[in-house]
């Protein structure tokens, strides 16, 4: 089972440049939907990749759903060669995305992201508008329900900001 606090603290304490996306980001904004993993978009520069490998080494990252015994190691060459990694770790499921469908890279997403404090750590998280745009761009039928909820949240936040009930 994913330990959200442990994974987020681990990424933040290692000074990894990442933006929370997906279900955890939606929860930050008020979603009540259940999610089982932590999804992040990470910066692809070498220092950040090295920090990711160092931080996750202790929790034994492995490709989620892959057969046991494959010669997979989350190291710098592997991360430079690949882009998106769906991982299982000792602290739970973690998706590391170098690029997000409908959103882009860390650098493209950062200007619109919001800064929040989670478990005492500062983190960046996609805004509600970014989450909605990404889900619309992905166009997956399974996202429709989540998309509807996000739009309801956005409407309620807008109403709250404008002082309406």
SS3 28: helix
Task: Decide: is 28 part of the binding site for other proteins (CB under 8 A).
Answer: yes
Among 32, 81, 161, 163, binds other proteins (CB under 8 A): 32
Task: Decide: is 126 part of the binding site for other proteins (CB under 8 A).
Answer: no
Q: Give the residue with the Cβ less far from other proteins, 33 or 45.
A: 33
Task: Decide: is 18 part of the binding site for other proteins (CB under 8 A).
Answer: no
Task: Decide: is 159 part of the binding site for other proteins (CB under 8 A).
Answer: no
Q: Give the residue with the Cβ less far from other proteins, 80 or 144.
A: 144
Q: Give the residue with the Cβ less far from other proteins, 76 or 114.
A: 114
Task: Decide: is 164 part of the binding site for other proteins (CB under 8 A).
Answer: no
116 φ, ψ (degrees, to nearest 5): -130, 160
Give the integer Cα–Cα distance in Å for 100 and 81.
17
Q: Are 103 and 134 in contact (CB under 8 A)?
A: yes
Give the integer Cα–Cα distance in Å for 107 and 19.
10
Give the chain's count of helices (H) and strands (E). Answer: 7, 7
Task: Decide: is 147 part of the binding site for other proteins (CB under 8 A).
Answer: yes
Give the integer Cα–Cα distance in Å for 152 and 147.
9
Which 61-120 positions form the footprint of other proteins (CB under 8 A)?
116-119
> What letter would DSSP give residue 99?
S
**Cα atoms in the Cβ-side hemisphere of radius 13 Å centred on 80:** 8
Q: Give the residue with the Cβ less far from other proteins, 37 or 74.
A: 37
Q: Give the residue with the Cβ less far from other proteins, 66 or 137.
A: 137
Only one residue has tokens 């990424």, namely: 11
Residues contributing to the site for other proteins (CB under 8 A): 1-5, 24, 27-28, 30-32, 34-36, 116-119, 136, 139, 144-145, 147-149, 151-153, 156-157, 160
């Amino acid at each position: 089972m994913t330990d959200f606090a442990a994974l987020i603290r681990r990424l933040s304490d290692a000074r990894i440049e990442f933006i929370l996306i997906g279900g955890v980001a939606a929860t930050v904004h008020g979603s009540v939907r259940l999610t089982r993993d932590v999804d992040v978009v990470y910066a692809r520069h070498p220092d950040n990749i090295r920090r990711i490998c160092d931080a996750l080494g202790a929790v034994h990252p492995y490709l989620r759903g892959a057969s046991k015994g494959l010669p997979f190691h989350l190291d710098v060459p592997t991360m430079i060669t690949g882009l998106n990694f769906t991982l299982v770790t000792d602290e739970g499921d973690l998706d590391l995305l170098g690029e997000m469908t409908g959103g882009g890279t860390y650098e493209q997403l950062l200007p619109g992201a919001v800064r929040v404090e989670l478990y005492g750590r500062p983190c960046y998280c996609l805004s509600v508008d970014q989450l909605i745009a990404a889900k619309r761009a992905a166009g997956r039928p399974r996202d429709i329900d989540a998309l509807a909820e996000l739009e309801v949240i956005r409407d309620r936040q807008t109403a709250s900001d404008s002082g309406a009930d």
